[in-house]
Amino acid sequence: MSDARPVRRQERGLRRINEILDAALGLFAEVGFEATSTNAIATRAGISPGSLYQFFANKEAIAEALSVRLVEALREAHASAFGMASVADMPLGDLLDRMLDPLIAFRVANPGAKALFNNPAMPAGLAAATRPLQEAVVGRVASVLAARSPSLPAADRQRSALVGVQIVAAVMPSIVAAEGAERAALITELKKAMYGYFAPLDSPAEHR
């Protein structure tokens, strides 16, 4: 109802935006989305509360921007992992390695991402802000599934992708929290679970 006028950002402003996003990501990692106050974000970013609101309309908008930044980063991580290789022809085990390893590396490197990813107890505002992220991830998995199992009905495919993503999301916090050998063991368990779930759905060429 008021000004929809877009602001012409200068370089300084773009830098600030990134600093704010970094601060928010760190705080989300440490105390979660709800418990992170906008004043705390501003303080960690080294600016005043007023300045923060020069760049973001509200707290939810920060989560949204963060979500966009994460989709982008994840897209790149996966793109480099897949390269030109066709997703349809790979053995399932290799495919899981190629999809999960970058994702795990990403989550280990960005513990704050946890707050943004699909998890069952997401506060209302956050859920709205990260819906595109969730959909991007589930859609990505569904399209891989479509390539490998063209005979699977679309609804089943979508549901399987969702469940697969939820399983990964469920185990990921333990993986990120663990270290060394225990982390490796948990990663193995996750892959076993994913393999056990997807192998029966997979293209006949794959399993025995």
Partner DNA sequence: CGAAAATACGAGCAGTTACTCGTATTAGTC
Partner DNA sequence: GACTAATACGAGTAACTGCTCGTATTTTCG
Residues near DNA (CB under 7 A): 7-14, 16, 35-40, 46-51, 53-55, 58-60
170 binds, among a second copy, DNA, none (CB under 5 to 8 A by kind): a second copy
- By C-beta, is 50 or 196 nearer to DNA? 50
Place of tokens 């679309």: 154
13 binds, among a second copy, DNA, none (CB under 5 to 8 A by kind): DNA
Alpha helices in 7-123 (DSSP H): 11-31, 38-45, 49-55, 59-82, 92-109
Smallest separation, CB 142 to a second copy (Å): 14
Q: Is 88 buried (19+), middle (13-18) or exposed (0-12) by CB count in 10 A?
A: middle
Candidate residues 25, 122, 138, 144; the one interacting with a second copy per rule CB under 8 A: 122
Which long-range CB contacts under 8 A does 12-17 form with residues at least 24 apart?
13/54, 13/55, 16/45, 16/47, 16/51, 16/55, 17/55, 17/65
Instruction: List the one residue out of 74, 67, 119, 131 whose CA is nearest residue 99.
Output: 74
Candidate residues 47, 183, 195, 203; the one interacting with a second copy per rule CB under 8 A: 195
Residue range at the interface with a second copy (CB under 8 A); choices 85-93, 102-110, 135-143, 168-176: 168-176
- By C-beta, is 52 or 186 nearer to DNA? 52
53 binds, among DNA, a second copy, none (CB under 5 to 8 A by kind): DNA
Residue range at the interface with a second copy (CB under 8 A); choices 8-16, 40-48, 71-79, 192-200: 192-200
Asked if 128 interacts with a second copy (CB under 8 A), we say no
CA angle, 76 then 188 then 164, to 5°: 60
